[in-house]
Amino acid sequence: MNGIGGEEVMARAGAARPLEWKFAQVFGERAFGEEVQEVDIISAIEFDKTGDHLATGDRGGRVVLFNRTDTRDHGGNRRDLETADYSPSRHPEFHYKTEFQSHEPEFDYLKSLEIEEKINKIRWCQTANSALFLLSTNDKTIKFWKVQEKKVKKVCDMNVDPSKALGNGIVCSSISTSSKPCIANGGCVNRTFNYLSTGFSFPPGGIPFLHLPRVMSHETSLVARCRRIYAHAHDYHINSISNNSDGETFISADDLRINLWNLEISSQSFNIVDVKPANMEDLTEVITSAEFHPTHCNMLAYSSSKGSIRLIDLRQSALCDTHCKLFEELEAPTSRSFFTEIIASISDIKFSKDGRHILSRDYMTLKLWDINMESGPVATFQVHEHLRPKLCDLYENDSIFDKFECCLSGDGLRVATGSYSNLFRVFGCSEGSTEATTLEANKNPMRRQVQTPSRPSRPLGSLSRVGRRGTDSSGADTNGNAFDFMTKLLHLAWHPTENSLACATSNSLYMYYA
């Protein structure tokens, strides 16, 4: 055993044991054969930092919010809390909270360009006074939203019967009483008063049944209000927005530029990255994704269509044309083909929670990078290697340009991304892990589970590189069915503190836990 004790081997085996994923919930499940409207297709998913709220955006410009309802009640004394028996298999449960129309379709008359209402990205901001704040963007415009509970107030105890009141507030008949009204001193008025008649005077002691109306709060409702609109700063389509850890600024990125905004100022932004050449014929790569470092407010990373990731430091200069670190894996000249540059384009990058690693997704692979090692990724995971012989077909039907997102678990031990046929893959990246699980986005996710043999990965802190894992040479799924390139799982998000995943397929939102 090369000097390794049996207990240590068992401990490693336990640590590397793959998770068993279970179905939790589904929102917007469609029946077999049901047509899906284009505007209902989900285009963005995002958990907030606590994991208690989840937001989705769709191609119709709507943002839908869900809130967690299974959170434990922390009331009671400490002894009761310590002795309380909570099931470890209890899964997070979310309920629909509210929705609002974030963006509307627009038309740029100067450029004769139609601007879609589709939500490209959603990012949660810091909460304040029990209100929720988030940023949403389409191709051109970013909006800052505040979602808050408002009490609906109504006027009660009116002196006028609403059924007898006209629209202008005049009572259709004079107010009178059939019985003798009592007055304050205990006497009775012997005649009926017409209070709206001319020459009316109040009886001695006043009118006891005349009182002031009261304003009452009967119920609460969620109201979404657009606080600010950040517009006219991008000539090309916005592909990313990212909040800074300082809680005051954020970035927005399009194909050629990255702008820095202050949340409180919508009238101006600062251009911090500009890759536009003087002559557009010299353009060789574009920006595909950008992300702020989770803890260092002066650092951010952005990826390119050539498969490289650049780390920049805002303290170096106002315009960060030069990077402080460059992460790229060069393809061997002998293996280059027509599709090499296309499939090398990075569609999404994510920092790990501690900021030590960057996860990137290109068309064929997931790569995990250590920010202290520029020579190459510490791990490479094959997502759908069996599609490599089909690249020509994928190019002809434009599927090769699909942009898949990726995510990391809160503890940094696993990564996940989507694929075709509504499949998504989960890989373990901890020491000794061989986890490479394929699941299908339906109520029985393990139905298409595939455990593929792979070489053990090494510790993330190690500077040595690991081999490629998760290779599946089959051209069909585990049930022998041909892959459906029209059903794809592009968007998914990992709960920040638990092993829980939210995945979007068409207009349906599936949630799983392990």
Report pLDDT for 153. 76
CA distance 47 to 224: 18
Average pLDDT over residues 354-379: 95
Average pLDDT over residues 354-365: 96
In DSSP terms, 229 is beta-bridged to 143
Whether 76 shows a pLDDT value over 90: the answer reads no
Amino acid at 170: I
Average pLDDT over residues 328-354: 90
pLDDT tens profile 271-311: 999 999 999 999 999 999 999 999 999 999 999 999 999 99
Residue whose C-alpha is closest to residue 363's, from 231, 490, 182, 174: 490
CA distance 508 to 352: 27
Whether 487 shows a pLDDT value over 50: the answer reads yes
Q: Which position has the token pair 């005051």?
A: 248
Retrieve residue 267's tokens: 């009238």
85-108 exposure pattern, b = at least 16 Cβ within 10 A, e = fewer: eeeeeebbebeebbbbebbeebee
Cβ-proximal residues to 352 (8 Å cutoff; 6+ apart), any chain: 294, 358, 359, 408, 412
Whether 75 shows a pLDDT value over 50: the answer reads no
In DSSP terms, 255 is beta-bridged to none
Report pLDDT for 466. 43
Query: Are residues 470 and 454 in contact, defined by beta-carbon separation less than 8 angstroms?
Result: yes
Report pLDDT for 165. 52
CA distance 504 to 488: 9
Query: Are residues 136 and 142 in contact, defined by beta-carbon separation less than 8 angstroms?
Result: yes
pLDDT tens profile 227-248: 999 999 999 999 999 999 999 9
- Secondary structure (3-state) at 214: strand
- Secondary structure (3-state) at 40: helix
Query: Are residues 514 and 89 in contact, defined by beta-carbon separation less than 8 angstroms?
Result: no
Report pLDDT for 445. 80
Report pLDDT for 155. 78
Q: Identify the burial level of 468 via C-beta atoms within 10 angstroms of its C-beta, where 0-12 means exposed, 13-18 middle and 19 or more buried.
A: middle
Residues in the chain: 514
Q: What is the DSSP letter of 488?
A: B
Calculate the CA 177 to chain-centre distance.
62
Residue whose C-alpha is closest to residue 300's, from 270, 329, 280: 270
Calculate the CA 317 to chain-centre distance.
31
CA distance 53 to 170: 48
Residue-by-residue DSSP string for 329-376: -PPPGGG--TTHHHHH---EEEE-TTSSEEEEE-SSEEEEEETT--SS
Whether 413 shows a pLDDT value over 70: the answer reads yes
In whole angstroms, how far apart are CA 260 and each of 248, 257, 269, 290, 353? 11, 10, 6, 12, 22
Query: In which band, very low, low, confident or very high, does the pLDDT at 160 lie, cut at 50, 70 and 90?
Result: low
Residue of higher predicted confidence among 319 and 361: 361
CA distance 56 to 69: 17
Amino acid at 298: N
Residue whose C-alpha is closest to residue 66's, from 497, 493, 505, 499: 493
pLDDT tens profile 110-136: 888 899 999 999 999 999 888 999 999
On average, the pLDDT of the chain sits at 82
For the chain, percent of residues with pLDDT exceeding 70: 77
For 467, phi and psi rounded to 5 degrees? -80, 170
- Secondary structure (3-state) at 53: strand
**Number of Cβ atoms within 10 Å of the Cβ of 435:** 22
pLDDT tens profile 179-205: 445 455 455 555 554 555 566 676 777
**Number of Cβ atoms within 10 Å of the Cβ of 420:** 20
Retrieve residue 371's tokens: 């920010």
pLDDT tens profile 420-476: 999 999 999 887 888 999 999 998 887 554 444 343 344 443 333 344 455 443 445
Retrieve residue 104's tokens: 């509307």
Whether 497 shows a pLDDT value over 80: the answer reads yes
Average pLDDT over residues 497-501: 95
In Å, the largest CA–CA distance within the chain is 112
Instruction: Mean pLDDT check: name the lowest of 14-18, 103-107, 348-352, 447-451.
Output: 447-451
In degrees to the nearest 10, what's the CA dihedral of 469, 474, 475, 481?
-120
Cβ-proximal residues to 84 (8 Å cutoff; 6+ apart), any chain: none
In DSSP terms, 363 is beta-bridged to none
Query: Are residues 450 and 478 in contact, defined by beta-carbon separation less than 8 angstroms?
Result: yes
CA distance 489 to 419: 6
Calculate the CA 354 to chain-centre distance.
19
Query: Are residues 277 and 285 in contact, defined by beta-carbon separation less than 8 angstroms?
Result: no
Q: What is the DSSP letter of 430?
A: S
Whether 174 shows a pLDDT value over 50: the answer reads no
Query: Are residues 99 and 39 in contact, defined by beta-carbon separation less than 8 angstroms?
Result: no
Residue of higher predicted confidence among 219 and 467: 219
Residue of higher predicted confidence among 165 and 208: 208
Residue whose C-alpha is closest to residue 465's, from 429, 437, 435: 429
Residue of higher predicted confidence among 454 and 506: 506
Torsional class of 88: left (φ above 0), alpha (ψ -120 to 50), beta (otherwise): alpha
Amino acid at 214: R
pTM: 0.79
Instruction: Mean pLDDT check: name the lowest of 1-5, 19-23, 328-332.
Output: 1-5
Report pLDDT for 150. 84
